Structure 1
Amino acid sequence: MNFKDVMRRYKEGTATEEEKEFVEKELEKFATIEDYYAEELPDEFMSDRESENEEELVSSQSETTNINKIVNRRLGKVVLVSVLIVILLYVGIFYGLSNIVDQFYFDPTEESQSNEEGLTNIDFQFDMDALISLNMPGYVNGSFTIEESKGFGTYETGYFLKNLFTQNDTLHFVDIKRGIPQNFYGGIFDSIPRFSIDEAFRDIIRPFPEEASDQSVDIKEEFKQRFNSKTIEYMEELNDLSYVSMTIAFEEDLNMSELYQLTEEHPELDFKWAGVRTVEPGTRWRDDQPMHLIGFVPDINAEPSSNMEPDSDKYPLFNLNDIFFDAGNRSPKEILSEGYQTHFTSRLSWLKDHEKFVEIFDYNAAKTEFYADALDYVEDNGVETYGVLVYGTAEAFSESLESLPYDRIVIDEVDSSKPSVKIYYD
């Protein structure tokens, strides 16, 4: 009897009574065997299976540990490479891109090649030397300058402005952000260092028109004489030891030889600044521009002594205190009268050649053109002075005024005595 066929008929309900009895007996037999193996399966078999499972687990854990180590090593390499890439990108952006940005703006840390091979000097020091001595009567660039790059066209700068009358040496800071000055107070940006002596040189700044009537000219001269008389009377009332700052406008321009002779005739007076003629007498630089007063410091001891200088072939005698280095057998008059002219034109040339600095630190953007025109004028006409700034005691002035070729005199400042040297920080 085929059990498979009988089983099919049993499920379909077509099996005979005999076939049903046969299937049920077989099913009962299989149930008995199943119960037997479920109850009697040896513990050893289960122990062996558990051992095999534990070995598989230990093996699996070992493989997992190894995989984790490999993953961690690779992850560490990825992290390290990522960090290095970030660092390189930062360095590249900060120094590479920053340097590119710096190229488009004024850089106070720029250096010029010295005549001595291998030596360089910071241009900002010379920028300040020239700007202050030419444009700010009674002041010089004292001590040293400060310049530090902050990246991307941003800089921190500083300079010492020395007042030659009071001897105060004040430190001023200026931040420069992509060609624009920021966080600056006083110093060269103050009106006092630039315009304090304008009163004496009124005729230079605002020339009297040629078409003025004789009556207008007479009134002007009368006012001038009366003002001069009041100034002399005031000075005579001062204590003889009073220290006086005075600006003197000359009747006629003096050449450098005549200026030197004047200083020799009055050794008791300190000539601290000489204004230089830069346009034809009686005219202004431009009708739509103010007349700028520029000059130089004839006192070789006024500025701090320094061995720093720009290219002496292009800017000879930039430092006036170098004047006697190549004196030869010439007389002091020859040396100084020629040296004044060379010194002034060197510093004027320097400012003409450094337009970015002038545009930031000078008070008028058109000064770059003015410096160029002024240089052309003095090269054609020589260096002549229309007036000076002089320091001395009231007694020294009283004794010297009659022999000074003045057209107008103005007292700018008076102190009880000649100040001692001091240093101040703003």
Structure 2
Amino acid sequence: MTFRELLEKYRAGQASEEERALVEAELEKSEAIADYLAEQVEDELGTAETQAPAGEVRHIQKKMNRRLRRTAAWAACIVLAVLLGVRFVASPLVASLYYQPNEKGFGTSIEGEPDTECEAIALDLTALYSLTAPGNTVNSVTARPEGFGRYILTYELRDWLTGETDQISGTLDASQTGGWVRTFGSNFALATMESIADWGNLADSSNGQAAADYLAELPPTSYVAAWLHFPEDLSTQELFALEERYAWKEGFTFLWAGVRSGEELLPGLVGFTMSGAPFNSIAPSWEDYPMFNWYQMRAEGKYYSGAAYAQHFLSMLSFIAGRPQAENALAWGQNFSAVLDYVEEHGVQVCGVLVYAEAPDLVQMWERGDIDGISISTVLPYRYSAEGGQYSW
């Protein structure tokens, strides 16, 4: 928009508050410049008054004042045009070259209808936390633009076990590689992953036996969040059968499954949420990404199954693999396209799971040989001691 057009809007009373402030500031600046230049000319002409008739001096002074004001007005127009160009042209153009968190139009409502208000950042964070940082559900995401591809990103995480919420906020620079999910993820699951380094250490039988012995000494009501490793990778059908085998035990909840993601990659650092985990209602097209979240399954009258788990994981993974700008802006050290290629070739093979269970049930699972590794993340006195957590969903 040119300054003349903006000025017409201002004169017609149609300018926004921001536009009014911008015009008034430039007009005030132009008037100040004109007054200053006029004073300089008057000083220069002061001497000439003694050497020329008064009428001629006044004529020259008026003519110079008009010329100076015209020049000042043009200068103000040029400055304003530059500012408006930077604000409304250059900044959006630069931002369009990078990740755009506020892109809208490809979300889906709980009823399966297109949600034109769903923003990309909410979908991207939901997928990234579900795939790589279990233990929290993403809620209420906003990204306030600051210009030139920079945003103030704010979102809330809700802890699965305790129900506690954590408000995350900071500057997102879409032109740089970000670490939002890795840097700010305060959940115990990620900390445990990093502490054990890989599933190989978790599968060390001596470590597993020590953990089982510790669990056996706890009061039987103790409620434990733990990572469990399987002797052999399980298909999603075998995983679902194992979950069903322990479903009758009160409080035994399967929440997240770690999937083998490559021969040289750390297996288990990518995975999917299971039936026991809370989830939000955010999802892209159900047709393009079926079972992205479990609202679709409920809406279609389906039930949890091994096939549903596999589809859920592949939809999440293929969605984020198709958004490399989001991957770069929000996550560190992941190559989801490579993981997707590996999984499509080798199938969805589960290395281990995150569970919440009472201590005696985990000991029984160890003694049966269903698992060969245990890493304890959190121990609560009993199931209901975390008000607002798992049993308040």
Q: Which of 362, 386, 392 matches 2:331? A: 362
2:272 is the alignment partner of 1:265: no
Query: Structure 1 residue 277 and structure 2 residue 260: aligned?
Result: yes
Residue 162 of structure 1: which of 158, 163, 168 is its match? 158
Q: Which amino acid aligns with 1:293?
A: L
**Unmatched 5+ stretches in structure 1:** 1-56, 207-220
Matched with 1:299 is 275
Give, as a single letter, the amino acid of the residue that structure 2 aligns with 1:122.
E
- Structure 2 letter corresponding to 1:298: M
SS at match of 2:93: helix
Task: Provide the secondary structure at the position in 2 that maps to 1:340.
Answer: helix
Indicate conservation of the 8 Å contact 2:227/2:355, yes or no: yes
Shift of residue 154, structure 1, vs aligned partner: 1.4
Q: Are the counterparts in 2 of residues 199 and 410 from structure 1 also a CA contact under 8 Å?
A: no
Distance in 2, Cα, partners of 1:182 & 1:230: 38
Deviations 1:49-93 (A, max 9, x none): xxxxxxxx99x69x969x96x988887777666545543432221
Please tell me the residue identity of whatever aligns with 1:379: E
Distance 2:152 2:291 in 1: 29
Structure 1 residue 247 corresponds to structure 2 residue 216: no
Other-structure match for 1:122:
119
Read off the aligned partner of 2:294 and give its amino acid letter.
Answer: L
Structure 2 counterpart SS, 1:196: helix
Whether 1:384 aligns to 2:340 is no
CA distance in 2, matches of 1:228, 1:292: 17
Contact 1:174–1:182 (8 Å) recurs in 2 = no
- Kept in 2: contact 1:197–1:412 (CA 8 A): no
- Alignment partner, residue 397 of structure 1: 362
Which residue type is aligned with residue 274 of structure 1? A
Larger Rg: 1
Residue type of the alignment partner of 1:310: P
Choose from 116, 128, 133 the match for 1:131.
128
Quick check: 1:173–1:183 contact (8 Å CA) kept in 2?
no
Structure 2 CA distance for partners of 1:199 and 1:94, relative to 1, 3 Å: closer
Residues 109 and 123 in structure 1, CA contact (< 8 A), matched pair in contact too? yes
Which amino acid is 1:161 matched to?
L
Distance 2:342 2:234 in 1: 16
Q: Which moved more, 1:193-202 or 1:378-387?
A: 193-202
Alpha-carbon distance in 2 for matches of 1:313, 1:338: 16
Tell me if structure 1 keeps the 8 A contact 2:290–2:296: no
Matched, 1:197 2:193: yes
Q: Give distance in 2, aligned partners of 1:85 and 1:188.
A: 44
In structure 2, relative to structure 1, the CA distance for the partners of 1:403 and 1:322 (3 Å cut) is farther
Matched-pair contact (CA < 8 Å) for 2:257–2:274: yes
Q: Could you say which residue in structure 1 is the equivalent of 2:291?
A: 317
Distance 1:361 1:321, change over 3 A: same
Residue of structure 1 equivalent to 2:90: 97
Q: Read off the aligned partner of 2:338 and give its amino acid letter.
A: D
Match of 1:412 among 341, 352, 377: 377
SS at match of 1:180: coil
Change (3 A) 1:255 1:78: same
> Could you tell which deviates more after superposition, 381-390 or 291-300?
291-300
**Structure-1 separation of matches of 2:345 and 2:173:** 39
- Whether the 8 Å CA contact 2:128–2:181 is kept in 1: the answer is no
Q: 1:341 offset after TM fit, Å?
A: 0.9
Root-mean-square deviation (Å): 3.6
Hey, what's the Cα distance between the residues in 2 that align with 1:185 and 1:121? Answer: 20
Mark the CA change 1:93 to 1:205 in structure 2 (over 3 Å): closer, same or farther: farther
> How far has the Cα of 1:417 moved from its partner?
3.1
CA offset at residue 318 of structure 1? 1.4
Q: Pick closer, same or farther for the CA change 1:181–1:257 going to 2, 3 Å.
A: closer
CA distance in 2: counterparts of 1:118 and 1:161, whole angstroms: 22
Q: How far is 1:391 from its partner?
A: 0.6
Deviation string, structure 1 residues 254-311 (Cα, Å, up to 9, x no partner): 22222222222222311111011223xxx424xxxx556211110365123x2x4213
Counterpart selection for 2:209 from 229, 249, 253: 229
Runs of 4+ aligned structure 1 residues displaced above 6 Å come to 70-78, 181-186
Match 1:337 to one of 297, 306, 318:
306
CA distance in 2, matches of 1:94, 1:187: 31
Match for residue 51 of structure 1?
none
Q: Partners of 1:167 and 1:196 in 2: how far apart? A: 19
Matches within 5 A, 1:37-186: 83-114=76-107, 116=113, 119-137=116-134, 139-177=135-173, 179-180=175-176
Any stretches of 5+ residues in structure 2 without a counterpart? Answer: 1-52
Contact 1:246 1:390 in 2 (8 A): yes
- Is 1:205–1:292's contact at 8 Å kept on the other side of the alignment? no
Structure 1 residues 88 and 113 mapped into 2: Cα distance closer, same or farther (>3 Å)? Answer: farther
Q: Which amino acid aligns with 2:91?
A: S
8 A Cα contact 1:132 1:188, kept in partner = no
